[in-house]
Structure 1
């Protein structure tokens, strides 16, 4: 493939979207533009704002590749969004709409945001040089991405890597998940669910030094609970000791199936809770087959907010799942 004149990487979240420029063969953002998604979240409005930002950044460049990572479950390799709770989209032909708006000088690929993040870590971050990678990110929700034999695994319907919706319970008391099912690991350890549980238990009378660390009961976050647990707080330790093995077993099961050489753990929730991170890794080590753990290196993510921009841009530049004109 002939190197393009310029690369763009785009990350669309529930609060902001960011777009970065890259040199034709580069993996370091040259310039990053950020703006709030805002209340006008209909597809036409989002497409227009993205297109306008892209056109300002690329100017008169004739040949542009654009990779878009979006917080959504995708239906196909044409960038059709099956469901995006953050954007309130369902069955939106986003990739084709964006391609139609920007025109033929843009080669566009649309990817699940965590897949883009994991690819970014694979080509330029914590999994550089690895060919078999599992990345799991625990933030507001839980997402994952898989690289096998040096290739991003997207799956038959572009939904590979949805580790947050693997089940840890399947009974009438299983916690409900935003996906519409019950018992998903995300419904137990996703950041928004953990925050709700912390608030509910403290409001119900649980006593914890996390309140003093935070300043008030209404300010307690997972990071305060983690600090309290590290200092020996009984309630905080009990909560973490319940939740960490759930994710540890999910990771162990995934490792047993995929046999990755590198497991990258990231996301806002885990990055702010070092004790929880360690407890999860301990549970993984106990639960995974010994032969799997002998060759598995568990590491924290390196690239932070830039990972999705780097990964999306690199995937599009390499011609992975580009939106085709039909």
Structure 2
């Protein structure tokens, strides 16, 4: 019954108004894998409906089959982490409704072929393709990938020329445009709470993703990243959040990670009346505050200040008081009074 549960999960993700959570889990025994084509018919109703003629290769049926995906589905835009065992099939139904799909492989490999064109995509590489064209594919055992699928009608008007979709785009994931896009997707994931409550916010996120996605595959690679200051700031904040404890956190490091120039980074933050390091300092102070509250009297000011990269304890205390209205010691004392019966 695993394949039936997959269908129910996909239906639920698409039915709930405002939901952006997506989950899929499919397990086939060795016996079921021998007739895998029948089980994959369940995928016709989900965001992977562009995959057809799926089957588990003969050499892999004795191991059974497992597929797991989790991520977000926003008005047709899918961003999901996927685990897939050995699988072959075709990506693309030659339909206008078929999406533009990117596979960023993190382990294993996926091979795509259309006519005489063949692409083997390994760890650290991304392949973007229009699934209106039919690509035969094969997936290695235990392959993991970040899969992004965007409705075709959102991308077509945004690309410089329709010819850009005529061939697959294969690149290293460290290319600035790709890195920028992935950072923005992570920022969306972190904002899932806000997106659930606002249809307008979901449309903005979807449209921004489609614009950035189209930039990658357009005939003008590398252009236009600075044309979306809110997206740059969102991606940069995500990088900062992941590196709050790092002593290497700096505007140049953030700019490199996001995939924009340092000048563009500063300009985008300035447009939001903020700065890179002001945001980092606020978030570090919040983390220090949370640590002090959790540890109480056992927390040493110098230790906490050093962990969150304040120059010394007095510097930390001064910033803490400016935000919370009291020194850390007085603040904790007041917290104990409030919480005591």
- TM-score in same-fold range (> 0.5): no
Relative contact order (C-alpha < 8 Å, sep 6+): which is higher?
Answer: 1
Which structure features the higher share of helix residues?
2
What's the TM-score, normalizing by structure 2?
0.25
TM-score norm. by structure 1 comes to: 0.26
Q: Max radius of gyration: which structure?
A: 2
